[in-house]
Structure 1
Amino acid sequence: MTVESSLALAFALFIFVSIPGPGVFATIARSLTSGFRPAVGLVIGIVLGDLFFLIIAVLGMAVVGKILGELFYIIKLFGACYLIWMGVQLWVKKPQPLNQVDMGTESTFVRNFIVGFTLTLGNPKVILFYLGFLPAFMDLSNLSSMDFVLVVTLVGFVVGATLAAYAWVAAYVRRFFTNLRAVRILNRSAGVILFGTGVAIAAKR
């Protein structure tokens, strides 16, 4: 890959990831209610899920998506149900000033990582996206090992940095919520976002 094609790929990917979708909504909701660090686990899970599908696409194994179609559907339902559960928990949660929340007990890294990973893994259409997206910037049939490493690095960095930026902004905003009524509204708004995202994911076949 040339420098120009690498920059073009990074920019195009940034635009795509920046468009609000389930990953963005889940990241914002988690960061608003729990802070930046818990959201990082979610972001890492999403990034690794993307890289999993990217590697499959680059290796020309999109057929795996068809073979494991039902498994992907089960994983998607698991992730959707967990998002719905998180939404309900936020709706009924007793409000507490966000600057007093114990970040160590609010949610675990592993739990958020699993949610992020299954959120992406439950959508095998990501394989098709990369299969249609990458050929515009490189020849997948003649990809060197260096190109492969570069693409994986670019995708991981751009997806991770973009979602982390969303999480940071949301975490910055949450610091100003000290009034219990405002916190309740914030919790319930984030709960609705997570619940709606989960329902939307579960409804797609």
Structure 2
Amino acid sequence: MDAYLLFLIITVATVMSPGPGVLLTLTNAIRFGVSGAIGGILGLAVGAFLIAGVSATGLGILLATSAVAFTVLKFIGAAYLIYLGVKLWRAPPAVIELRAAGRRTLPRQFAEGLGLQLTNPKAVFFFLSILPQFVTYDSAHVGQFALLVCTYSVVLVVVHLIYAALARTTRQWLASDSGGRLVNRLGGGTFMCFGLGLAATSR
């Protein structure tokens, strides 16, 4: 496979860039600790894996060529982001207390990360435009494609775990009432901005 290292560098840069997924991981890590962010991280990784697979099918081509399909998925994603933002904005500061009882279940965290990733139409176009450039189609391209997709998912997990660990160091201060309220307001407001921004985007 040509330029695998270059693909790896591009993937790391893409995953590290600020976005709803990174914000979700940071927020979960601050509110529930590193272990409380793992479910969401796995959901994001599985969502990326599924989107990559869909991008290689007719649905991926449809989203790339149909303005209606793109618009529908775009607004579903925007609505989900705004929902997460409003929910976080209204959450009481007490949810980031250090006690484990306040932690949400792993399946719920996983579903939140998965839903966030699957309702992001931009991810589809990332895989449609980036992956094909690193696949040699005159050989066994299915294995190459699988390697690239798995690489992306693994990089996402590693990078987000690093983000979660860094966020964990600030959790003591953010466990205070003022700190918890600040996280809720900033996190919720940012999610809503992402949602409004996604709704306003075009192809």
Structure 1 CA distance, aligned partners of 2:99 and 2:43? 24
Q: Which of 188, 192, 199 lines up with 2:196 in the alignment?
A: 199
Structure 1 CA distance, aligned partners of 2:32 and 2:194? 18
**TM-score normalised by structure 2 residue count:** 0.78
How many percent of aligned residue pairs carry the same amino acid?
28
CA distance 1:45–1:178, change in 2 (3 Å) = closer
Quick check: 1:88–1:195 contact (8 Å CA) kept in 2? yes
> Which digits, 9 at most, give the CA deviation of each residue in 1:165-200, with x for residues without a partner?
222212232133343222222222222223323333
Structure 2 CA distance, aligned partners of 1:200 and 1:60? 27
- Which residue identity is paired with 2:178? R
Structure 2 CA distance, aligned partners of 1:171 and 1:194? 20
* Range moving further from structure 2, 116-125 or 61-70: 61-70
Number of the residue aligned with 2:34: 36
Q: Is 2:124 the counterpart of 1:127?
A: yes
Q: Which runs of 5+ in 2 are unaligned?
A: none
* Range moving further from structure 2, 160-169 or 63-72: 63-72
Q: Which of 143, 148, 157 lines up with 1:146 in the alignment?
A: 143
Number of the residue aligned with 1:84: 82
Number of the residue aligned with 1:156: 153
CA distance 1:96–1:125, change in 2 (3 Å) = closer
Following superposition, the deviation at residue 14 of structure 1 comes to 0.4
> Which digits, 9 at most, give the CA deviation of each residue in 1:119-153, with x for residues without a partner?
22223342332222123322246444432332222
* Range moving further from structure 2, 116-125 or 92-101: 92-101
- Which residue identity is paired with 2:173? F
**TM-score normalised by structure 1 residue count:** 0.77
Number of the residue aligned with 2:107: 110
Number of the residue aligned with 1:170: 167
Question: What is the Cα-based RMSD across aligned positions, in Å?
Answer: 3.1
Quick check: 1:73–1:122 contact (8 Å CA) kept in 2? no
Number of the residue aligned with 1:12: 10
Structure 2 CA distance, aligned partners of 1:203 and 1:108? 33
Following superposition, the deviation at residue 75 of structure 1 comes to 5.8
SS in 2 for 1:175: helix
* Range moving further from structure 2, 158-167 or 7-16: 158-167
Quick check: 1:78–1:118 contact (8 Å CA) kept in 2? no
Q: Is 2:185 the counterpart of 1:181?
A: no
Aligned residues: 202
SS in 2 for 1:20: coil
Structure 1 CA distance, aligned partners of 2:15 and 2:115? 17
CA distance 1:74–1:27, change in 2 (3 Å) = farther
Quick check: 2:73–2:119 contact (8 Å CA) kept in 1? yes
Structure 2 CA distance, aligned partners of 1:140 and 1:127? 20
